[in-house]
A and B are shown apart, each in its own frame.
Chain A
């Protein structure tokens, strides 16, 4: 097989495997007993999205996808911090 077509096929296969593996964090997101469990599942979904964007930039030979991956990986951290802040504030108002 030609080397560049092998790379493209492997990138497409990796995107398929990652898309299938996004089902398991969704299960945890729906039936998580507490709210931090759901935050953890959302973190995992964001990391899978970062991996899919990097695979797509390998497939299409275009490095601008890496900027999008950087922004998504920053949003992961800031999002979980904002959810933690929100939980803290809601608990303080109820007391």
Chain B
């Protein structure tokens, strides 16, 4: 029984990844694409890891998935922040911050 729920969650996660990839092509400014990469893909990875933990009831798998999830959700906003800051600093048509930043 639990395998059916797990399989349906895996298919749902794949469809969410497909929606995120379509959104990357459709959105027409940089910050909108950054929203998509940060949130929708983290959501897809969360659903996939929940499905894996439902299927294999092991403590080692739980700890590994917790590590992967923490890396993805705590570091991908920082990567988006660094990219947005460089884009702000390089191209003046994007909205500027109120102070001039000289180093990363």
Contacts and interface: CB of A to CB of B under 8 A. Distances in A.
A4 interface: yes
A85 B83 CA distance: 10
26 contacts: A3-B4, A9-B7, A10-B6, A10-B8, A14-B11, A17-B14, A21-B14, A37-B33, A40-B24, A47-B41, A50-B45, A51-B48, A54-B45, A54-B48, A63-B60, A66-B65, A73-B72, A74-B75, A76-B76, A77-B71, A77-B76, A77-B79, A80-B82, A84-B82, A84-B85, A91-B89
Q: Please classify the interface of chain B as helix (H, G, I), strand (E, B), loop, or mixed, using the class held by over half of its residues.
A: helix
Nearest to A1: B4
A47 B71 CA distance: 12
Interface string B8-40: 101101110110111011000010011011000
Interface of B: 1, 3-4, 6-8, 10-11, 13-15, 17-18, 20-22, 24-25, 30, 33-34, 36-37, 41, 44-45, 48-49, 51-52, 55-56, 58, 60-61, 64-65, 67-68, 71-72, 75-76, 78-79, 82-87, 89-91, 103-104
A40 B83 contact: yes
A48 B61 CA distance: 20
A12 to B, nearest CB: 10
